[in-house]
Amino acid sequence: MRALVVRGRGATPAVEEVRLPDPGPGELRVRIRAAGICHSDLAMVDGTVAPAYPLVLGHEATGVVAEAGPGTRLAVGTPVVLNWAPACRACWHCRHGEPWLCTANTGASVARGETADGGPLQVTLGLGALAEEVVVPERAAIEVPAGLPPEQAALLGCAVLTGTGAVRNTARVNPGESVAVIGLGGVGLAVLTAARRAGAAPILAVDVAEAKRDLALAAGATDFLHSDDTLAKEVRARTEGRGVDHAFECVGRSVTIRAAWRATRRGGAVTVVGMGAKDDLLSLSALDIFHSARTLRSSVYGSSDPDREVPELAVALADGSLDLAPLVSGAIPLDEAPAALDRLARGEGARWVVTFPD
Ligand SMILES: [Zn+2]
Ligand SMILES: [Zn+2]
């Protein structure tokens, strides 16, 4: 089968023929219908995280069970959304209501299958979903209703779960609270959508790219602000001089975390959703931390339980109360995925989604 493979750190990803094993006990083969291209895929290529190579990219996808290994529950033909952090339900975090911090998660890359010449192959986050098929443990597949638009359903497994969970579970945004969102990629746009659904106002969308303005307003923002030195002032002008109740940093850089901090009111909360680099240090004064009374925290996978929350989001998508169309820049064939990764690196568009013929 065909998959998007990166051969080493900094190499250009290309579509290759690869082989996956048959599903073993407790495993499924899933035929992919649609798979999003996420910033974390760029992190796998540029070495921000340290996976093993050659590596099949992709971790945000929907598909249909094509073959069920011994001892599995889901039947062939079941529509599923893939979960890149399936919870073991046995470790300390799982037993204490924090399945998103499950210690059984296996890291950036997992060995599975082989390249066309018989060499070892890795898959991203245990999935490798920018491919015609995946073979995964059954707990990495979450059943969803049939008939969802595949290019929107794919986003439920990463960008939308992350963005929605950051608003609902981590920050617990209440109706009428003010929100700023810095960085308008797929996750940032999903945060805007979730903030709108939570009844927040105003919802200030912030990005360096003016081209994100229309996307932001379509996704749920009330205002678009250009990210520059005047940001904190612009935010205060729209929040009676205080700053927002909640700022969401969706870039993963110290400079934007600091901008989020400065845009937040005294006693407000900054939620870091972006994944940054380990050598990018954030500096805040001890006096500022005390006097501002702000909270700074991160949101990993939306502090969510995907087994419960992905089906809820899927129902909202099916009944029309959740509209993810503004998050999808376009559906493209697998061969165009390398070019879409370049566009993502340049900050162009929202989510590019690879779709496969039915
Ligand atoms: Zn992702
Ligand atoms: Zn666990």
State the residue for tokens 């089968």: 1
Ligand 1 centre from 69 Cα, in Å?
27
Identify the CA nearest to 242 among candidates 220, 270, 262. Answer: 262
d(C-alpha 53, C-alpha 121), whole Å = 7
Model confidence pLDDT, tens digit, residues 296-341: 999 999 999 999 999 999 999 999 999 999 999 999 999 999 999 9
Calculate the alpha carbon distances from 195 to 221, 248, 271, 316 in Å: 8, 10, 13, 15
Q: Which ligand has the shortest distance to the CA of 101?
A: 2
What residues of the chain score a pLDDT lower than 70? none
Q: Residue 264 corresponds to which tokens in the numbers above?
A: 């937040």
SS3 assignment, position 295: strand
Q: What is the pLDDT of residue 157?
A: 95
Query: Which of the ligands is closest to the CA of residue 130?
Result: 1
Find the helix or strand (DSSP H, E) in which 35 lies.
strand 27-36
Predicted pLDDT of residue 50: 87
Nearest to 304 by CA among 174, 187, 216, 211: 187
Give me the chain's average pLDDT, please.
Answer: 96
At residue 181, the pLDDT reads 98
Expressed in angstroms and rounded, the spacing between residue 159 Cα and the centre of ligand 1 is: 6
Between the alpha carbon of residue 280 and those of residues 53, 172, 263, 283, 330, the distances in Å are 25, 28, 20, 10, 33
